[in-house]
Structure 1
Amino acid sequence: MGLVVNNDVAGAGVHALIVGVSDYLNLPDAGEPSSDETWKLNKLSSPALSAFKIFDFITTTGLRLPLKTVRLLLSPSPAEVQVEPRLANATPTRASRDAFSKLAGQWRKDASVNKDDMTFFYFAGHGTQRGSDDSVLMLDDFLTSAAPLNECFEMHNVKSGMAPTATRPDIARTQFYFIDACMDRNAKLRTFLNPTVPAVFGIELSEKDERAAPMVFSTVDGAIALGRSRKPSHFSQALTLAFARAAEEPDPVTGQWSVTAVTIKNALDYYYNKNKLGTLVTMGSLVGSPVIRYLAGPPDIDISVEVQPEALGLPCTIGVLDQDKIAVPGCNPGAKTKFDLTVKAGAYQVEVNAGRLTSNPFRSPLRLFNKPMLPPWTHNLTSLLRPPN
């Protein structure tokens, strides 16, 4: 049930659990009125597609270690199936509370064999908070029973249940958690006295928790996540870009470029700021900076270039050179004084040939780019120009 990848891997590997809930059984369709009885919530049309995008990435592009197991639970909306027909048969069961509990138990069991293994957890769907460290995530049969949170799970319970204990001394020590859900405090919660969430795991005492287990949330406490109708969410889009690009320096021994929890957070912050999403990614439980994958070479970096003033005189050509003074392929802005481009991480300089320059060409000092920069790389040439005719 839900085990979609089961590879025979010698040595360390990855155990993944990916959940995406859009088609909530007891919520009204998107766009329809939602009452207090349904917690002012509606069905969604992004989480299952978002989770499938993450699944696609880790199964086709890969992580630092080979995949051992992947468990996938999806409840897609009809709109998402239209966009991505593979969703219709991607998993044999819906993302119910019962199915989640069973798969989570199997996931933990598989991850308890080799401490050098790595776990990967991703959830997309509705969520809420009861306190500052109490994320409650809703599965597709939410509101089926009379107890309000019976068909939910607490993220804290799941993560605590993955700690090393006397009965699981060899559980994976590197664990990544990604949660794409609202973290606001739903007003309906205030009408209940201490509503409880059934535990997924019984929590055993852990004398020494040596895990590197970052937990990344798509938004801040008290805020709403940013889904997109019939498209992967901004968080899943930014996360896959981070997996592909978010390496900031090569390993001094191997030369490999490491994508770590910290560089992922930096890349997500850049994406959110660039797209003016109005919220922030949050990360907790970071111990060290665990590596999720390696890049074979320097990553792609998005940069913006601006040359001032606009009136540089004709003829005018502007370009970008690498550290060997070779023009960056595909960078042909012509006379544009402000433009965006993508380069490989490294050192670059701007070259300007313009009619009003007292001496051509102007070449800026080399600048190292090892991660995307939101402010433009600005060059003010006013003091180097002849007066206009």
Structure 2
Amino acid sequence: MTLLAPAQRPPGDPSLIFEAPGLSGKPALHALIAGVSEYANLPGPGEHGTPAGAGLGMKRLSSTSLTAYLILDWLVKAAGAQCLHLPLGTVRLLLSPTAKEVAATAAPSAHGTIGLPSMTQLQVPRCDQDNLCAAAEAWRRSARVHRDGATFFYFSGHGIQRTRNDQLLLLDTFGAGGALSKHSVDVSSLRNGMAPYGNNDGRGDPAAVRPDIARTQFYFVDACRSAPSRMLSYEDSRPGAVWDVEYADMTDDRRAPVFYAAIPAGLAQALTDRQSLFSMALLRCLSGQAAYPPDQSADDRRSTNWHISSFSLNAGLPARLKEVNAAHGGNQIGLADGFTEDAVLCYVKEWPLVPFQLVIDPESALAGTRVHLQGQSGRNLGLEREFRSPVDPYPFTISLEAGYYKFSATLDNPAPPLRDCPAELYLVDPLRSRTWKATMSHGR
């Protein structure tokens, strides 16, 4: 797929970097991705203060625009490999990057994004209030043509909350002075403005009518949800409006989950000059580490393909976040909300590879035990491996293609209280336990 060069974009829609030909009026996925790192009115590393303390003690970020860029890279690659559940219809992008982030994307091989233009080449608008409002309105127009379509929203940057159930996304002019929440948008109002609306009483804006808006919508909010004490001292602090949200006059039958990087009052963490921990976990999930197995009762690609859905992401993200936290010393805890029915986002081209461990209980039996595995399904059929200590490092570790396996363990010299562990059929699945335990003693 080819992205639109700046000169090819509609004059009133400069954030539009991709539009598929031939999909007008057909079900498609429409994406809006935004990343803010370079908060011009916030202090950078080693600097202090903002005008009248308007920045709530926050500082510029180093990796959130790069995070958004990497999410774009995944989306483009998934579309090119025909792994999305729906064809990619449009992509809109807003970035407020640091100079380091811009420079990093000029050498895309360092980030695994070969083929994606650099930020300099993309030349997309900054993520300020006017640009976000314009991009969101255009995104909504694209999404309202077919109820069987889908949307994808990803924001990475600063965020705060006023109450437990809301979150404000801070745009790149935050800290300029005036009302603290002036340069922000509310996640709930953004989502509510994407609900179906018919203007059934004829008193609303005819241009906002959207009875056939896409009923499948994915929202990813990669930002803090902390509640600064100064915010709590204000009686009413209203964010800037992306659009007017009408009273509901149609049944809101969307499948529109929201995946938050942080729990209420929590922080979103990132690796300096690299990317956020939440995005690392999410990209692991999207690569197959949160996939559901083929569903033979389905009447689409789910019947033969491992697939990523809203439910599978909800099941897989916590585990993948734990892995990322362990690898990078993080403490990221996410939260998901707004679930109704399951909705498929994409498919996995190859069967997922699952890091797997085989352990022995009790460990005192390790020296005289052999662990066997045999593939029992699909491309694993006929695969055989044997592990024993000290030839193989313990715990025994292997990457297995998802599917059914038969595991067993035998003793070289069985004697009470130890015994062989009989064969067990086990489904190796990205969302199941990744450890099989051989119980080698009676009474356990």
TM-score over 0.5 (shorter chain):
yes
Instruction: Choose from 231, 234, 243 the match for 1:201.
Output: 243
Summarize the Cα distance change of 1:149–1:383 in structure 2 as closer, same or farther, 3 Å threshold: same
Does 1:89 find its partner at 2:121? yes
Summarize the Cα distance change of 1:270–1:31 in structure 2 as closer, same or farther, 3 Å threshold: farther
- For these two proteins, the number of residue pairs brought into alignment is 384
Letter in 1 for 2:222: D
| Paired residue secondary structure (1:326) | coil
Letter in 2 for 1:273: K
| Paired residue secondary structure (1:340) | strand
Contact 2:263 2:335 in 1 (8 A): yes
Contact 1:319 1:332 in 2 (8 A): no
Distance between the aligned counterparts of 2:186 and 2:388, measured in 1? Answer: 52
Does 1:301 find its partner at 2:354? yes
Moved more, 183-192 or 133-142: 183-192
Structure 1 residue 108 displacement after superposition: 0.7
Alignment of 1:16-35 (within 5 A): 16-30=31-45, 32-33=47-48
Letter in 2 for 1:132: R
Structure 1 residue 117 displacement after superposition: 1.2
Letter in 2 for 1:90: L
Alignment of 1:214-229 (within 5 A): 214-229=257-272
Distance between the aligned counterparts of 1:367 and 1:320, measured in 2? Answer: 10
Letter in 1 for 2:188: H
Distance between the aligned counterparts of 2:43 and 2:60, measured in 1? Answer: 6
Instruction: Choose from 303, 317, 322 the match for 2:375.
Output: 322
| Paired residue secondary structure (2:126) | coil
Does 1:251 find its partner at 2:302? no
Aligned partner of 1:155 in structure 2 is 187
Instruction: Choose from 162, 169, 172 the match for 2:214.
Output: 172
Distance between the aligned counterparts of 1:81 and 1:7, measured in 2? Answer: 26
Structure 1 residue 247 displacement after superposition: 1.9
Aligned partner of 1:2 in structure 2 is 15
Distance between the aligned counterparts of 2:397 and 2:150, measured in 1? Answer: 37
Letter in 2 for 1:116: D
Structure 1 residue 298 displacement after superposition: 3.4
Does 1:264 find its partner at 2:264? no
| Paired residue secondary structure (2:217) | strand
Distance between the aligned counterparts of 2:432 and 2:304, measured in 1? Answer: 23
Contact 1:316 1:335 in 2 (8 A): no
Letter in 2 for 1:339: F
Instruction: Choose from 48, 53, 73 the match for 2:70.
Output: 53
Aligned partner of 1:104 in structure 2 is 136
What are the superposed Cα offsets for residues 75-107 of structure 1, whole Å, 9 maximum, x if unpaired? 112232343222333342211111111111111
Contact 2:370 2:387 in 1 (8 A): no
Aligned partner of 1:65 in structure 2 is 86
Contact 1:314 1:356 in 2 (8 A): no
Quick check: which one's strand share is greater? 1
Letter in 2 for 1:271: R
Distance between the aligned counterparts of 1:186 and 1:330, measured in 2? Answer: 56
Summarize the Cα distance change of 1:107–1:366 in structure 2 as closer, same or farther, 3 Å threshold: same
Distance between the aligned counterparts of 1:133 and 1:332, measured in 2? Answer: 52
Aligned partner of 1:336 in structure 2 is 393
Summarize the Cα distance change of 1:92–1:296 in structure 2 as closer, same or farther, 3 Å threshold: closer
* Structure 2 unmatched ranges of 5 or more: 1-13, 107-117, 199-208
Letter in 1 for 2:423: S
Contact 1:73 1:91 in 2 (8 A): no
Identity, % of aligned pairs?
Answer: 29
Structure 1 residue 287 displacement after superposition: 1.3
Alignment of 1:370-389 (within 5 A): 370-373=429-432, 376-382=435-441
Does 1:369 find its partner at 2:428? yes
Structure 1 residue 114 displacement after superposition: 1.3
Moved more, 227-236 or 360-369: 360-369
Contact 1:48 1:76 in 2 (8 A): yes
Summarize the Cα distance change of 1:262–1:331 in structure 2 as closer, same or farther, 3 Å threshold: farther
| Paired residue secondary structure (1:53) | helix
Does 1:77 find its partner at 2:120? no
Distance between the aligned counterparts of 1:64 and 1:383, measured in 2? Answer: 49
Distance between the aligned counterparts of 1:279 and 1:107, measured in 2? Answer: 30
Summarize the Cα distance change of 1:135–1:186 in structure 2 as closer, same or farther, 3 Å threshold: same
Contact 1:305 1:378 in 2 (8 A): yes
Aligned partner of 1:387 in structure 2 is none
Distance between the aligned counterparts of 2:427 and 2:433, measured in 1? Answer: 15
* Structure 1 unmatched ranges of 5 or more: 385-389
Distance between the aligned counterparts of 1:142 and 1:329, measured in 2? Answer: 58
